[in-house]
Amino acid sequence: MNVGELIEALQKYPKDVPVCVDNNPIYFTDMTDAYWDGRLQQIIHDEELRGKSYSIIGWKITDKGSKVVLRTMELEDVLLDNPDLPVEYDLDARSIPRYKTEVEAIRVEMKEIIAREGR
Residues 42 and 79 in one domain: no
Whole-structure pTM value: 0.79
C-alpha span between 106 and 18 (Å, rounded): 24
Residues 10 and 65 in one domain: yes
Instruction: Provide mean pLDDT across the span 82-103.
Output: 97
How confident is the model over 29-44, as pLDDT tens digits?
999 999 999 999 999 9
C-alpha span between 86 and 88 (Å, rounded): 7
Residues 54 and 86 in one domain: no
Q: State residue 32's pLDDT score.
A: 97
How many folded domains does the chain comprise? 2
Beta strand pairing status for 20-21 and 24-33?
A: antiparallel
